[in-house]
Each structure stands twice: as structure tokens, then as C-alpha cells.
Structure 1
């Protein structure tokens, strides 16, 4: 019976957050933009685009038209197909990187806050060491050490974001573990596992959810930056950062080669940030 009541309470809380998110202007706009990004990314992933993102043709540097919505690049490749393919590539790297960082960082943060003492000090010092390195330089060094490939890029980005999730998870745990209901649960002889899953984790899930949305936007920016510098996706694979890099010398004669991939980055990042703002307000 108790388990059923807990399940019902969690479901009701989730429905309330979704309802608040949709009534919030920022959250609603963020949901629409993120949904659009996911839609075109999935279309590229399942090969539903009218053109092959890497197929070259004689139609070089054609402006946007009915045949090529975003125009073509210097190799005759359809920019719309490459932009949508680049969105999928960025999402793939960002989702994997954030998933790894959230699991590892969230676990370490909860463990440090709940256990305290020497373990908390060790995890805190390791986190401080990672924070001492500039994020993009640490990602560059890790990618250079691991080698090219989207999985290695995701791993490098996840290492950069692990300390952020440690801090986000540790703070609420420190506040909750000294609360009256947690102290009462300890006095009643509840096991640490029960206290952790029943009382600690529900208070950590909301800030971790907000941080996940923010980290996804940062992940897209970081993946695009690494690709721009030549350490992410490699030609001829579609990548937003690569497309921006290739279009630098074509801006005066073919503005569309830069405008659309850059706009895709902006839409994805703004949408995820607005979604994070909406989640922050809905979870209060």
C-alpha cells in the first residue's frame, strides 16, 4: 500500500511539473524549439531526408530554392540535409556525454553529500582539480589523447561536465540530510538505502533535471567548437561546427552556407536553455 501511495505521489508530481512547464512561456517555447530540433534530427537519423548529406553534385553554391531549401555548398551538397544531419550528430554526442556525466557526477555528488567526512573531502578535491582546467582546453586535450570519433568526443565532454553534476547533486543532499524528517527516519531505524531512495533522491531529481537540460545545450556548443577546430566530426560527415568552419571563406558570395548551420546551433541552444528555465520554475 505504501509503495502504491509513493508511486501515485510521484506520478501526480510529474504531471504537475509538466502542466506548469507548458503554462510557462519560456518552457512552452523551449518545448517547441527542442521538439523541432528532435524532429529534424530523427529525420536525419532514419534517412528521411530528400538528399544524401554527403552526396556531391554539379549544383555548386546554389542559393536557397524549392529544390534545395537551404541552398548548396561548394561541393554541391544539400545544406538542409547536412544541417539536419549535423543536428543529429550534435545531439548524439551531447546526449551520450550528458548521460555519462549525469550518472557519474550525480552518483558521486549524492555519495559525497550523504556520506560526508573523508569521502566527501576526496571527491571535493578531485572536483576542484577538474574545475581548475578551462573546460574547452580540457576537452581539447582529452579528444587529442583519445583520438577522433563521436564516442571519444562524448567521453571527453562528459569528463568536463562531471564536476558540475557533482556540485549540483551534493548541495541539495547536504541540505536534506539534516532535515527533521530524515533525522526522524534515522531515529526509527530506517536503513541508509531507504532514506536515500525515499527522502534524498526526490529532492535531488529536480535540480539534476534542470542541469541536464543546460548541459545538453553546453554539449552542443562544445561539440560544435571541437568540430570547428577539427577535433570532432571529420569530413565528409555532416557537422554544424565543420560547416561553419568551411563557410568562413564563402560568406561574401554564399551567405547561406554559414547562416543555416549557425542558426541551427542557436535554435538548439536557445531551446534547451528556455526548457531549463521552464523546468526550474515548474519544479519549485
Structure 2
């Protein structure tokens, strides 16, 4: 689905602050987004990377294969290319950073406008030959893994801290049991869609009820993982990686309340001239 300019700007802001590596390319393969997490992982600031060709940033041994994968993504823009490994040439760190990403093409008015790559840092996983679960236990990012039935198979320490539920309490239980009751149908439908279509969702907000009864809101990317069924197309699990946006959402809600209750007309427009804010006082005098 094409994004309007304001939607693209918002998406870029969210991706820039995400606790997972993310980058974006234009149709020529040059970097247009290099998020803060990726800059931290690689020690390459965005200012040094933006505008450069991604193929110039990867190892020479992997550049050809990556060029073919990018061409595939651009040729079939409606299909997400999953589990693409990008090996960045970060010899200054004493090792190359390895990313496992999904490539999603954004189409604007039937023309490709950008390629988004969102995923995870698997440098340690590849180096140690361990399963990604070991990495998930170490990062300061909420990560949940679900099986096809939506039951929890991985629950890392960060989400333990956010929810108050230990891995022993939730392992093998449905994630829906912790989702706020007003959103269970929506979350259930979204998970079913990811599994049935084998399609990643870059951002999806899930409100969970914590052990203390409070509400924590997570902005997650949902990534299907396929099993070895011969065709390699059967989704066996879904990995959700994201960030806690509870405080941000509360601040935005408080701001909206103040604007709406103000004793003066307040309205706002976006860059396209469309009204996005129109408070009660403005409505009364219009």
C-alpha cells in the first residue's frame, strides 16, 4: 500500500527510534534511512551513510548476491522478500555486522518509491552458531515468539520487566490472554493474517495488561518464520520485536485533551493542507 508523504515521514520517525536495525533505500539502492539502532550497532553515523549505495557498505563477497536480491524485490514489488542477510563491512569493529531483514517495497502511484529493510542483528548468532533465542535474551528490546496457535515460545527479559510476567508463567500460553480485551479480536485477526499469508507487518500496536493490572502498549514488527517443509512456505512461528510506546501515547493523549478543551479555537493542517486538528471551540464558531 502506498504511503502519503505525511505517512512516510511518520513511518521514518518511528523506524529511526525503533529498538531494532532498520534502513531504507531509494530505487537506485542508495541509503535514505539509517536508524539510530543501526548506527549504534555499526558505529557508522547516519550522516556518514545517507546517500551512499548500500552495495558499497557491504562486504565484497556478498555484494553480488545482495544486488540480485534487491533487483528481485524491485521487480516483484508486491512480495516481501524474507530473511535476507546483509553483511556490512564494519572491519573497524573487528568483525562484520550481519543483519537478517525483510525487504518490503513501498509503491507510490504505481511507481516504486523506496525499499525498507527491517530486521535483527544476528552477528552474535552467526558468530557463535547459536539459535537466535540466545541473542533475544540479551537485547534491551521486547521480543516475543509465537507458534502457529499463537502460544508463547519465547519471552525475553525486557518484556518480562515491562509486563511483570516471568517466562515460566507465560511459556506455552496464548498471547491473547494478556492482550487488552478490547483489542483481542483485532490482534487475533492480524496474527492469523501474518501466518496465513506469510507476510510481515512492519508496525502493529498491541496493548497488554500487566501482572499488576496496568496497561503497557507495544509497537511491534511481526515477522513470520517459515519451516523446512520442502517448499519453504509454511509459517511455523511469528517473531514480534518492538518498543514500549506507553509514555509516548499517554503524552499524545494528554496533548489532545488540552487542545480540545482550550477556550480558544485551535486547528492544524498537514503539509497537504488537510485539517488534522480542529478543537471544540473551533467547531462552535465555525
Q: Which category describes the TM-score, using the shorter chain as reference length?
A: under 0.3
Structure number with greater CO (CA < 8 Å, separation at least 6) is 1
Give the TM-score, by structure 2 length: 0.24
Give the TM-score, by structure 1 length: 0.24
Higher helix share: 1
Based on CA coordinates, which of the two structures has the bigger radius of gyration? 1
Higher strand share: 2
